[in-house]
């Protein structure tokens, strides 16, 4: 999840996806994992499977590259340091429109090398708050927990408001867990109840064959 924030930072200002895609079209754009009939996505590295909801296009490789480039630039400016994203793998990324999306990544993580995973998450949350503040984004933050297929995930909810704080523009929820030696991160972004329900239903129907 350390590098998922690269994507998250730029997801509030980037493009929407309107193209129609066949199953083959979607698979062609996926860097890691496979799609099968019924829009089921599977990532063997973490034993994860989920069903993509109807009407949610898979982001193209070009869109992912642009998203990564913009987010990396914003984050490097905020923390005043260069970022090595070479170990990050994109899983399944969906974007219905400018405010409703789903992002997921994995990155190798070992506590002997990288330190406490919980402390890493707290550092990520602090980085997110600073980066959004640097961009002049008015937001509220909430740390929590959620259970997916019996596995506990750390969550970080971000509510983004207009400049005077009077109107909620978008909600983002980051999910993270250490699975099979990978830092696994997912983020939902939504601005309406229907898309929120579609994303929450998709995430909570996730299945994991790897349990640690």
Query: pLDDT tens digits, the chain, 212 residues: what are they?
Result: 454 554 455 455 444 555 678 888 888 888 899 998 778 999 999 999 999 998 899 988 887 777 777 766 766 676 677 777 777 898 999 989 889 999 999 999 999 998 999 999 998 899 888 888 888 889 999 999 999 999 999 999 999 999 888 999 999 999 999 999 999 999 999 999 999 999 999 999 999 999 99
- Domains (range + CATH), the chain: 4-208 (3.40.1000.10)
Residue 121, number of CB atoms within 10 A of its CB? 22
pTM: 0.88
Of 148, 137, 142, residue with least CA distance to 9: 137
pLDDT for the residue numbered 131: 83
Contacts of residue 185, defined as CB under 8 A and 6 or more positions apart, other chains included, come to: 1, 4, 103, 104, 105, 106, 107, 174, 175, 176
DSSP state letter for 136: T
Contacts of residue 177, defined as CB under 8 A and 6 or more positions apart, other chains included, come to: 151, 152, 153, 154, 184
């Amino acid at each position: 999840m350390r590098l998922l924030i690269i994507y998250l930072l730029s997801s509030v200002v980037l493009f929407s996806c309107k193209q129609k895609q066949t199953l083959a079209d979607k698979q062609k754009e996926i860097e890691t994992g496979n799609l099968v009939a019924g829009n089921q996505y599977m990532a063997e590295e973490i034993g994860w499977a989920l069903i993509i909801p109807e009407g949610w296009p898979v982001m193209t490789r070009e869109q992912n590259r642009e998203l990564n480039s913009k987010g990396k630039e914003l984050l490097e400016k905020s923390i005043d340091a260069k970022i090595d994203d070479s170990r990050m793998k994109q899983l399944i990324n969906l974007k219905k429109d400018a405010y409703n999306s789903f992002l997921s990544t994995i990155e190798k993580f070992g506590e002997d090398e990288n330190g406490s995973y919980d402390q890493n998450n707290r550092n990520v949350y602090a980085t997110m708050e600073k980066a959004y503040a640097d961009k002049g984004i008015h937001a509220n933050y909430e740390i929590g927990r959620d259970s997916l297929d019996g596995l506990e995930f750390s969550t970080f909810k971000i509510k983004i408001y207009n400049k005077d704080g009077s109107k909620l523009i978008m909600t983002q929820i980051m999910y993270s867990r250490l699975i099979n030696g990978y830092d696994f991160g997912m983020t939902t972004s939504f601005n309406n109840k229907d898309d929120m329900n579609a994303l929450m239903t998709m995430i909570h129907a996730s299945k994991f064959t790897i349990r640690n």
